[in-house]
Amino acid sequence: MNRKSHAKINLFLDILKKRSDGFHQIRTIFSEIELFDSITFTLTENNAIKILACKNFIKTEDNLVYKIAFFIQKKYNVRKGVEIKLEKIVPITAGLGGGSSNAAQTILALSELWDLDLSENEKNEIASKFGSDINFFLVGGCALGEGRGEQITPLNDIKINNILLINPGFAISSKEAYEATTISDNENLNWKKLLKTGNIAFCYNKLEETIRERFSEIQNIIKYLQENGVQKAMLSGSGATVIGFCPNYYTANKIANYYSKKGYWNLITKTKRRTK
């Protein structure tokens, strides 16, 4: 079984309050993009769970895909196993949700491969045990995320082309990014305007201000994009990937070439349209 595991960007992200469980109450608008890892799931007759990856980026016992497969196998007393081959393209710890997307595809694939026929509630319960973004990837497309991000409401696609992603090559801890952000008493209501108009001027990331202060290169990238024809530049999730919404492919490609010469990972992409 072969599955595409798409990345995401947050078109809007606001932090509303700190919750009693230690997480933050957020409101976010997720959108999948046309960047994806490829995952192959192969049923095995023994009960072993084996993870193969093109990059030895994480130990098996710490791998989210492995943890979820092991959890499902034990919870539903599955006698068979699986070999999972990950072809990683999405940068890790980059604010693009690569790990969460891989996790969601694992839930969906194993429900079918192991003949479990999991209900939507069961899939979402498993997802919420392992992360806040995984529930979104069970739905995909464009969606509103509330609670700690796991309460998902599907939305109409927001169609955006010529999205330039730039990653300077260092990781930013999501936990540290959230903890360092000052929570305002006033909600940012531009999410409603974004949904109504699809205008990228209303895109927003509450985490960005603090991260720009702490990481000068994030500030430098956003400033360069703003000065070189990008309509809007902002942080993706907790970073360190920066999004540049470009007016055309020419502008996106010109800036991409500049950052390629600097040795920074970059990609021109677009929002993914939900399959009807």
Active site residues: 8, 133
Within 10 angstroms of residue 193's Cβ, the number of other Cβ atoms is: 13
User: What would the two tokens of residue 86 be?
Assistant: 């990950």
Nearest Cα residue to 211 out of 165, 178, 189: 178
Q: Give the pairing of strands 204-205 and 2-18.
A: parallel
3-state secondary structure of 200: helix
* Rounded Cα distance, 81 and 114, in Å: 8
Distances from the Cα of 105 to the Cαs of 2, 36, 144, in angstroms? 10, 11, 19
CA-to-CA dists, residue 222 to 30, 73, 158, 211, angstroms? 21, 44, 22, 12
Residue pair 75/41 in contact by the 8 Å Cβ criterion: no
How far apart (Å, rounded) are the C-alpha atoms in residues 246 and 66?
A: 38
